[in-house]
Amino acid sequence: MDIERTTGLIFNIQRYSIHDGPGIRTLVFLKGCPLRCEWCANPESQLGHPEIIVVPNRCIGCGKCIAICPEKAITSTPIGNVINRSRCTVCGICVEHCFAEALQIMGTTKTAYDVLQDIEGDDIFYQHSGGGVTLSGGEPFTQAKFTFSLLKLCKERGLNTAVETSGFTSYEIIEACLPYTDLFLYDIKHLDCDIHKQHTGVENSLILDNARRLAAKGANLTVRLPVIPGFNDSEENLVNTVEFVKEIGVTEMHLLPYHRFGEQKYRQLGREYKLTVMPPEQERMESILKMLEKRGVNVKVGGN
């Protein structure tokens, strides 16, 4: 396999991030995820193919996109232009003709080498801060060959690597990437299998099993729990999660308070944001932290 030429579908590369791993990092967001978490803040990551997003407040109403779309998929409405997704072939013609950049394609095919070039440009920042690259998504392991290739290329250049994962993938895929991954930011969303399936679309058994196996192999794992009020913030589930983390030998756990920052992206994709709960107050997070912090695991609030 020519790892430099392996291609992946990327929807964003975010530089100078101080979240999602140590130091200053470049986050590479891959498209495609097998889960459908109701609180997902990156809905543009979920489908494994490119999509068009509409940013209404940038639209100047020139009508070019409507006139030029070969599929007649765009309609002007009082709330802005709407794309009929069953007609849209994602040909990108409307995007090319929208000078206001109110239409954008989410998902570009890039080689691992091209992405590496983007990442390496900030090497000086990584060196001074102990940072590196974090693959995120979506679920990076759904693009197994690309993720493997990019991690290997980064490690060959001496870069620190991290992967944000749902853990919902075959163990063999993760194991192949293990020698090239300095840190796994590993989501565990709920310990009850049925509740997990109800709110994410998949069972949790593969996720828990992979966490167990990775930890037994000596992988550097930080478990992350997105704290979603009414879903996984009961004392029973929180304590069970910490006990599971301790049992598999992981010492770091991050609590990520739910937020609604991704809400407008649903509208831009023509989808509905269904979750109605409000983000937890700071006092609530502090009381959760207090409840969990003396249980033999380093628990903190936040993603770093």
State the residues that interact with ligand SF4 by CB under 6 A.
Answer: 52, 59-65, 69, 71, 73-74, 81, 83, 88-94, 97-98, 100, 102-103
Shorter beta-carbon distance to ligand SF4: residue 59 or 112: 59
106, two tokens: 């989410």
Question: For 214, phi and psi rounded to 5 degrees?
Answer: -65, -45
Query: Shortest distance, CB of residue 97 to ligand SF4, whole angstroms?
Result: 6
- CB of residue 45 vs ligand SF4: minimum separation in angstroms? 19
Closest CB to ligand SF4 among residues 62, 278: 62
Nearer to ligand SF4 by C-beta: 20 or 44? 44
Which SS3 state, helix, strand or coil, does residue 82 take?
A: strand
Rounded Cα gap, residues 288 and 201, in angstroms: 26
Q: How far is the CB of 30 from ligand SF4 (least distance, A)?
A: 21
Nearest distance from C-beta of residue 267 to ligand SF4, angstroms: 14
Q: Distance (Å, rounded) from C-alpha 202 to C-alpha 292? A: 26
Three-class HEC string of 242-303:
HHHHHHCCCCEEEEEECCCCCHHHHHHCCCCCCCCCCCCCHHHHHHHHHHHCCCCCEEEECC
Query: By the 8 A CB rule, do 140 and 34 touch?
Result: no
Q: Which is nearer to ligand SF4, 53 or 288 (CB)?
A: 53
52 vs 159, beta carbon nearer ligand SF4: 52
Least distance (Å) between residue 90 CB and ligand SF4: 5
300: exposed, middle or buried (Cβ count in 10 Å: 0-12, 13-18, 19+):
middle
